[in-house]
Amino acid sequence: MAEAPAVAAEPLIAAHRRHFPKADVDVLRRGFEVAAFAHRDQKRKSGAPYVTHPLAVALLLAELGMDTTTLVAALLHDTVEDTSLGLNQVRDEFGAEVAVLVDGVTKLDGSKWGDRAEAETFRKMILAAADDLRVILIKLADRVHNLRTLHWHPKPEKRERIARQSVQLLVPLAERLGVYVLRREMEDLAFANLRPEAYEEIRASLKETERDRAARLGPLVDQVTHALRSAGLKAQVETRNRHLYSIHRDRRANPILDQTIRVGDATRITILVNGPDADCYLALGAVHAIWHPMPARMKDFIAAPKHNLYQSLHTTVVTADEDVLEVEIRTPRMHRLAEFGIIVHINDAAQTSTRLVRDAARRPDLDWLRNLLAWQAHPDSGQYLDSIRAELRSGSIVVFTETGDVVPLPRNSTPIDFAYAVDPELGAHAIGAMVNDRLAGLHTALDDGQVVRILTSDSTTQGGPSEVWLETAQTGNARVHIQRWLDEQRADRAAVDGRLRLVKVLAENETDLLELEQHGVALAVCRRLGYPDLEALYAAVANETVVTAELAEQLVATPAAAPVYGQE
C-alpha cells in the first residue's frame, strides 16, 4: 500500500513534464499523498475512492499545460471543505500561493450560510480570481470532472441543478477566458443531462450520417489544399467536428429548416497558415476563389479580436455541390489561443516567473472580470447572482475610443457603459455621445466596431446620472457607480433638508445652529450620538431617525468646546 500513491500519481507527473520538463514533481507526489490521506475514508457516488476526483482534476489541468502550483492546489482543492485538513496546514506544508488557490475554490458552509451559500461562494471565487485567475481554472476543471461523473448521482433534481448552474455560470466563464476546450465539453455534458432525448437524437444522427459526410468532406479538403498551394501558401487544412450542443443550438434557432445533419452542420474546416498574419487574408482570398462566399457571413477577428483573446478569420461558403461550409483561417499561435485562451498566457508566464502568472489576471482584455467585481457591492445574494448571470450571458461587443483603444462591453451596452468603462469621472459628467462621428443619445445601443466619443459638461447643474441611467446601463461597473452617485446625491439633499429643519426648531429657542457648529457643539453631539459627520446627522434628521426636537435640546444643553475657526 505504501507504493500506491506514488504509482497513482505517475500519469499526472508524466502529463506535467510534457509541458514543464524541469518541474519539481516531488511536490506533486507529496500533494497527492496528503490528498489521499485526507480523503482516505471518503467515496464518490460511483463507489470509487474520493481521491480519484482531485487526481482527475489535476490531470485535466496538467494536460492543458497548467503550472505546478495549480496542480498541487487542484489535488488539495476539496480537502479544506470536506476533510479535517485546515487551510493553515495547507499553507504550512505547501506555501501561501497554494493555500490562496485552495481557499478560492473552497465552498462556504451551507449549514452556516443557508440559501446564500451558492451566491456567496461565487462572490468569494470572483474576488480571489481578480488576484489569481488560476482559481477559476481549477473550478472549471473541477466542474468538468463532476459533469463527466454526474450520471452516478442518484437524484435527478440534483443532476439538473448542477447541469443548469454549469450552463448559467461556468460555461460563460470558460468562454470569457477563451478556454473553449472546457466550454465545449461542459456544454455537451450539461446538454446530455438537461435534454437527454435531444442529445441522443443528435448523437444518433451524427453516427448515422458519419460515413456519407466523410465521403463528401474528403474532396472538399483536397480542393482547398490545392487552392492554398497554388497561391504559394504554406498551410495545414484540418476538419473539426462541432460539438453536439452547438448543433442543437443552430437547430433551435432555425426550427423550420430540414433537420437532416449535413457536412457543414457537423464539421468546420480550419486552415492553419504557417506565416505572418497577413497570409491569413491571402488564404481567405484563395478560399473565395474556389467557393462562393455567403454575404455578411465573413468576420475578421484578427483585426478586431474578441474580448477573450480569440483571433481568426471566419467565412461561410457554398461549394459547387451546394454544401454550406464554415471555414476558419488562423495561424498555429492563434489556434492555440482559440482552444486554450488565457491558459496559453499563464503557461508562457509560468516558464519565467510566478509573479507573471498572477499578473495574467490584470490583462487589459479582462475588463469583463473587473465588471464582475463591480457587482461585489451588491448586498443581496440572490440579486447578486442574478446580476452575474445576466452579465455573463449577455455576449460581447468591441467598440473603440477616438485614439483606437479597444473597449470590450456586453452586448446591448450604451454610451453610458462605455463612459464608465473608460473612466468613472467621464461617466459622471456625460451629457451625450458621438458614435461614428454622428450625434447619439446616451441610451443608444452600441454595435461591434463603432468609434465612440463622450460629450461632457463641467457644470454641476447640467446632466449627471439619473434613475433612467440605472435602468439603461448593462455593465455592473456602470450601475454600481451610478447607484453610488445617486445615493450620494440623496444623502446631500437629505443633509440640507435635515439642517433646515433643525435651524427652524433652534430658532424658536433663539439659538443659531451656525454658531453651535462654529464652537464645536454640533460636532460634539454628533460624535456622542455615533454619527461620523454632521452631514450624516442632518440626513438622519431628514429621515426621522433622529427626532429634531430632542436633538435641539441636546445641542442647547451642551457647553461650547474650545474656540475654532481662529476665534478668540
CB crowding 325-352: b at 16 or more within 10 Å, else e:
bbbbbbbeebbebbbbbbbbbbbebbee
Is residue 47 domain-shared with residue 79, that is, in the same domain? yes
Is residue 165 domain-shared with residue 285, that is, in the same domain? no
Last residue of a domain, one of 340, 374, 406: 340
- pLDDT at residue 363 in the model: 66
C-alpha cell at 111: 449549514
| Of 33, 82, 93, 365, catalytic | 82
- Residue 376, pLDDT > 70, answer no
User: pTM of the predicted model, to two decimals?
Assistant: 0.76
Q: Give residue-wise pLDDT tens across range 452-486.
A: 999 998 765 556 788 889 888 888 778 888 888 88
Rounded distance, CA 26 to CA 93, Å? Answer: 13
- Residue 561, pLDDT > 70, answer no
Q: Give residue-wise pLDDT tens across range 438-458.
A: 999 999 999 888 899 999 987
> Cβ atoms within 10 A of the Cβ of 497, count?
15
Among this protein's residues, is 258 annotated catalytic?
no
Is residue 89 domain-shared with residue 168, that is, in the same domain? yes
Among this protein's residues, is 81 annotated catalytic?
yes
- pLDDT at residue 382 in the model: 65
Is residue 161 domain-shared with residue 247, that is, in the same domain? no
CATH number of the domain bearing residue 167: 1.10.3210.10
- pLDDT at residue 2 in the model: 40
* 109 lies in some domain: yes
Q: How crowded is the C-beta side of 239, counted as CA atoms within 13 Å? A: 19
- pLDDT at residue 19 in the model: 92
Q: Give residue-wise pLDDT tens across range 176-201.
A: 888 999 999 999 999 999 999 999 99
* 280 lies in some domain: yes
Among 50-59, 281-290, 438-447, 465-474, which stretch is predicted with the lowest mean pLDDT? 465-474
Is residue 174 domain-shared with residue 282, that is, in the same domain? no
* 392 lies in some domain: no
Is residue 166 domain-shared with residue 231, that is, in the same domain? no
pLDDT tier, 564 (very low <50, low <70, confident <90, very high otherwise): very low
* 111 lies in some domain: yes
Is residue 30 domain-shared with residue 175, that is, in the same domain? yes
Among 79-88, 315-324, 438-447, 504-513, which stretch is predicted with the lowest mean pLDDT? 504-513
* 367 lies in some domain: no
Determine the structural domain holding residue 531 and report its residue range: 484-557
Is residue 151 domain-shared with residue 261, that is, in the same domain? no
Q: Give residue-wise pLDDT tens across range 100-125.
A: 999 999 987 656 677 677 778 888 88
Choice between 454 and 128, residue whose per-residue pLDDT is larger: 454
Looking at every residue in the chain, the average pLDDT score rounds to: 86
Is residue 222 domain-shared with residue 100, that is, in the same domain? no
- pLDDT at residue 393 in the model: 66
Q: Count how many domains the chain has.
A: 3
Q: How crowded is the C-beta side of 475, counted as CA atoms within 13 Å? A: 32
The answer to whether 367 and 391 have CB atoms below 8 angstroms apart is no
Is residue 147 domain-shared with residue 228, that is, in the same domain? no
* 398 lies in some domain: no
| Of 3, 24, 33, 81, catalytic | 81
Q: Give residue-wise pLDDT tens across range 220-273.
A: 999 999 999 999 999 999 998 899 999 988 887 666 555 677 888 889 999 999
- pLDDT at residue 371 in the model: 64
